[in-house]
Structures are given as C-alpha cells and as structure tokens.
Amino acid sequence: MSDVTQAPLPTAASEPVAPPPVARRSRWVPALLLLLILVVAVSLGLAWSAQQRVRKLEQELVRRQQDSQTQSGEARLLAKRADETARESAAKVTLLEARLAEVAIQRTQLEDLIQSLSRSRDENVLVDIDSALRVAQQQATITGSAEPLVAALKQADDRLARYAQPRLEGVRRAIARDIDRVKAVGVPDIAALSIKLDEAIRLVDELPLLSQAEPRKDTKAAASSPKAAARGASAPASAPAGWAATVSDKWGGLMQTLWGETRTLVRVTRIDHPEAMLVAPEQAFFLRENLKLRLLNARLAVLSRQFDTVQTDVQGAQQSLERYFDRSSRRTGVASDLLKQVAAGARQVGLPRPDDTLAALAAANAGR
C-alpha cells in the first residue's frame, strides 16, 4: 500500500503538466488510513470472535473434561463394582459347582441306595415266598391235603401281581404250572369219608346177626294171610249158595297159617363160619360195640390222614360183617357198600412238590 506509482514521462507540448508528487501522496493517505482502520477493525473483530470461540471451546473443553472425569470416575466405580460382582459371581459359581458336585455325589449315592433297597425288597419278597411255600408243603405233607399248598401258591401269585416286577414274570409262570399240577392230583375227600363212616356206625345197631336172623318175607306173607281170611269171613255172604266157598276159604287160610307157623319153627341157613352161631345174645351187644369202636377208630384215622390205619380198620370191619352178620339183609349190604367206598377213597396220594416255583425263585435270587 505504501508504494508510489511513478508518473509517466511527458511526451509532447500538448499534454498537461502533472501535479507534483506531494499532492498526489496527500490524496492517498486518508484512503490508506481508512483502509488500515478497516483492516485493523476487521482484525480486531476477527480476533475478538476468535477469542470468543476459543473461550467457548475452552469452556466446552473444560465442561467435557469435567464430564469425562465424572464419567471416568463413574466408569471406574462401575468397573470396580463389576470387578467385585465378577469376583462374587466367580465365588458363587465356584460354590455352586462345589454344591453341584456334592449333589451329583449324593444323587449317585441315593441311586445306589435305592437300587440296594430295591434289591433288598426283591430279595425279601422272594425269600418270604420261598419260606411260605416250604411251610405250606410241610403242612400238605402232614395233613395229606393239597389246600395249604394251593393257597400258598395263589397268595404268592397275588403278591407278585401287586408287586408288578417284570423280571419276576418267570416266577409267576412257574407258580401257575405248579398250581395246575397240584390241582390235577386227586386228594381224598375227608368230609365224604367221615360221613360214610358215620352212616355205617349208625347202621351197626340195626344189622341182623346170623344167630338172630330176621324173619323171611314169605313167612310174613303167610302170617298176613289169616288176617285176610278173617276179614273175608267177617264180610257178610252175598248169597246162601256161597257157604261152600266160604268154608273152603276158611279151611285154606287155616292150612296156610299152620304151614307158616311150622316153617318158622325150622330154618335152614348156610353158615361159612360156625363161630357166628356161637354168639350168645348177651355177647351181641359187645360184638356191635367192638364193631363201632373199630369204625370210630377208622374215622379218627381218616381225620388224621392215616390212611394205612383206615384200611386196616375197614378191612377188619368188613370181616366182622361177613362173619357175624346176615349178608342177605339189605342193611348189611348197605353197610358193606359204605365200607367198600371208604376203603376205595382212603388212599394215600403223593402230593407234587412246587419244584418249578422253587427253582424260579432260586434263579431270581441269583440273578437279582
């Protein structure tokens, strides 16, 4: 701005004369001053604006720095808390892992205990069934009846059905086979045999002895004919001409009566054992009582399942009936038939053993 433009050199006489340099300089100075003032004002404005911006930036920086410090403090606090939380979480996780390991160990021990208890329960059930079957077998052997064994097998089957253990199905099948085999064996009917012996004992007092035989049927008919003749004689005659027939009937009835009485005086009987006729009337009572005692002994033997004794007593009773009593009598025949039925029914029957069930129980105990 301070440079002075040099005036051109005069070329001719017609050109005007240039003012002097001092005058020209005086005209440019205010402009320069004004320009300088404007530049200074603009510079001051720009400087003031820059200073304000710098101040605002400083304030913003200070504020942000404060915010950053606050956030940094909070971040450090949060980080510290997070670190503490992480440590606590790690401690809790460690504790939970330890507890989980303890629970796993306890679960394993509990499963082992449950399996042990289950095995013990199975073993107890099988041992109880085995003991019950052996006791029932002894009772069946002593009493000669299959009912105790059948009842024990059914009870064992019901118990296993309620227990519902699949591995014990083989035992249930063995029990079913043993029940069928035991039921197939014919066992003496003790009640029926006792009733037959009681009936035979009742008939003893009514049995006729050979020495005191019953009157025959034709004798009874002959004895009843005089009564019919007497009834015919008491009836009035239908006509006077019937007196000859009436006399003839009376004579015939009288002859039949005489013949019947004569036949009762003498009776011919075949006796295979002569000692039967030697039984005195006062000895007949003791003979009947001895026969009753023998039959009562047979009845007691039936109740106690001593079938050999029953056979001996029944055979002795049959021999007494054949030797001392009238075999042609109907009562004697009935008593003899009863004794034969008792002898046929009182047979010792070997009861089968529940071997299949016992073997299945042993296998189940061994397999567990």
- Single-letter amino acid, residue 324: Y
Q: What SS3 class is residue 209?
A: strand
Which residue reads 């510290």 in tokens?
80
Whether the predicted pLDDT of 167 surpasses 70? yes
* Structural contact between residues 146 and 182, judged by C-beta atoms closer than 8 angstroms: yes
- CA nearest 204: which of 291, 327, 298, 294? 291
pLDDT number for residue 229: 44
pLDDT number for residue 3: 45
Count the neighbouring beta carbons within 10 Å of the beta carbon of residue 246: 14
CA pair distance 104, 110, nearest whole angstrom? 10
Q: Which residue has the higher pLDDT, 220 or 337?
A: 337
- CA nearest 298: which of 199, 206, 205? 199
CA pair distance 49, 113, nearest whole angstrom? 90
Mean per-residue pLDDT of the chain: 75
Tokens of 51: 């200073």
SS (H, E, C) 96-126: HHHHHHHHHHHHHHHHHHHHHHHHHHHHHHH
Count the neighbouring beta carbons within 10 Å of the beta carbon of residue 114: 10
Reported as a single tens digit per residue, the pLDDT across 59-71 is 888 888 888 888 8
Q: Kindly report the CA angle at 35 between 33 and 40, in degrees rounded to 5?
A: 90
Count the neighbouring beta carbons within 10 Å of the beta carbon of residue 168: 20
- Rounded to two decimals, the pTM is 0.43
pLDDT number for residue 365: 74
Which one-letter DSSP state was computed for residue 280?
-
* Structural contact between residues 180 and 229, judged by C-beta atoms closer than 8 angstroms: no
- CA nearest 133: which of 170, 159, 161? 159
Q: Which residues pair with 209 in a beta bridge?
A: 325
Assign 11 a pLDDT band (cuts: 50, 70, 90): very low
Tokens of 367: 């397999």
Reported as a single tens digit per residue, the pLDDT across 267-319 is 555 555 555 554 556 677 888 888 889 899 988 988 877 888 888 888 888 88
- Provide mean pLDDT across the span 221-234: 45
